[in-house]
Chain A
Amino acid sequence: MTTDYPDMQAETVENFTPQKVTLTVNQKPVELEVLPWVSLLDGLRDYAGLTGTKKGCDHGQCGACTVLCDGERILSCLTLAVMNDGSEITTIEGIAQEGELHPLQKAFIEHDAFQCGYCTPGQICSAIGMLNEGKAKSREEVKELMSGNLCRCGANTNIIDAIMEVKNQLAHE
Chain B
Amino acid sequence: MNNFNYLRASDVQDAISQSAREADVKYLAGGTNLIDLMKYNLTRADILVDINRISDHREITELPDGGLRLGAFVKNAATAWNHLVEEHYPLLSKAILAGASAQIRNMATNGGNLLQRTRCYYFYDANVPCNKREPGSGCSAITGYQRIMAILGTTEHCIAVFPSDMCVALAALDAVVQVEGPQGMRSIHFADFHRLPGDTPHIDNNLKPGEIITGIDLPAKGFSKNYSYLKLRDRNSYAFALVSVATGLELDGETITDARIALGGVAHKPWRVAAAEDFLKGKTASGENFRQAAEIIVQGAVGYEHNAFKIELAKRAIVRNCMMALHPESQLPGAQPSA
**Residues on A facing B (Cβ under 8 Å):** 13, 15-16, 19, 35-37, 39, 58-60, 63, 66, 72-75, 78-80, 82-83, 126, 129-130, 133, 135, 138, 140-141, 143-150
Rounded to whole angstroms, the CA-CA distance of A144 and B102 in the bound complex is: 9
**Which residues of chain B come closer than 8 Å to A75, judged between CB atoms?**
32, 103-104, 107
Rounded to whole angstroms, the CA-CA distance of A129 and B3 in the bound complex is: 33
Rounded to whole angstroms, the CA-CA distance of A150 and B102 in the bound complex is: 13
Question: Closest Cβ of chain B: how far from A129's Cβ, in Å?
Answer: 7
B303 within 8 A of A: no
Rounded to whole angstroms, the CA-CA distance of A147 and B333 in the bound complex is: 11
**A78, A83, A135: which contacts B50 (Cβ < 8 A)?**
A83
Rounded to whole angstroms, the CA-CA distance of A7 and B50 in the bound complex is: 27
State whether A73 and B102 are in contact (beta carbons under 8 Å apart), knowing that A19-B6, A79-B107 are contacts in the complex. yes
User: Is A140's CB under 8 angstroms from B36's CB?
Assistant: no
B43 within 8 A of A: no
Q: Which of B285-300 contact A (CB under 8 A)?
A: none
**B39, B50, B81, B332: which contacts A58 (Cβ < 8 A)?**
B39
User: Is A74's CB under 8 angstroms from B106's CB?
Assistant: yes
State whether A73 and B106 are in contact (beta carbons under 8 Å apart), knowing that A39-B35, A147-B334 are contacts in the complex. yes
**A37, A59, A126, A140: which contacts B332 (Cβ < 8 A)?**
A140
Question: Closest Cβ of chain B: how far from A131's Cβ, in Å?
Answer: 12
Rounded to whole angstroms, the CA-CA distance of A35 and B319 in the bound complex is: 52
Binary per-residue interface labels of chain B (52-93) against chain A in the complex, 1 for a CB within 8 Å, 0 otherwise: 100000000000000000000000010001000000000000
Question: Closest Cβ of chain B: how far from A91's Cβ, in Å?
Answer: 14
**B2, B35, B237, B334: which contacts A79 (Cβ < 8 A)?**
B35
User: Is A16's CB under 8 angstroms from B31's CB?
Assistant: no
**Which residues of chain B come closer than 8 Å to A82, judged between CB atoms?**
6, 50
User: Is A59's CB under 8 angstroms from B3's CB?
Assistant: no
State whether A144 and B35 are in contact (beta carbons under 8 Å apart), knowing that A36-B48, A63-B103, A73-B106 are contacts in the complex. no
Question: Closest Cβ of chain A: how far from B224's Cβ, in Å?
Answer: 19
**Which residues of chain B come closer than 8 Å to A16, judged between CB atoms?**
3, 5
State whether A126 and B102 are in contact (beta carbons under 8 Å apart), knowing that A78-B32, A83-B52 are contacts in the complex. yes
**Which residues of chain B come closer than 8 Å to A72, judged between CB atoms?**
77, 106
**Which residues of chain B come closer than 8 Å to A63, judged between CB atoms?**
101, 103
Rounded to whole angstroms, the CA-CA distance of A132 and B230 in the bound complex is: 27
**Which residues of chain B come closer than 8 Å to A140, judged between CB atoms?**
332-333
User: Is A37's CB under 8 angstroms from B238's CB?
Assistant: no
Rounded to whole angstroms, the CA-CA distance of A74 and B77 in the bound complex is: 11
B339 within 8 A of A: no
User: Is A36's CB under 8 angstroms from B5's CB?
Assistant: yes
B4 within 8 A of A: yes
**Which residues of chain B come closer than 8 Å to A144, judged between CB atoms?**
237, 333-334
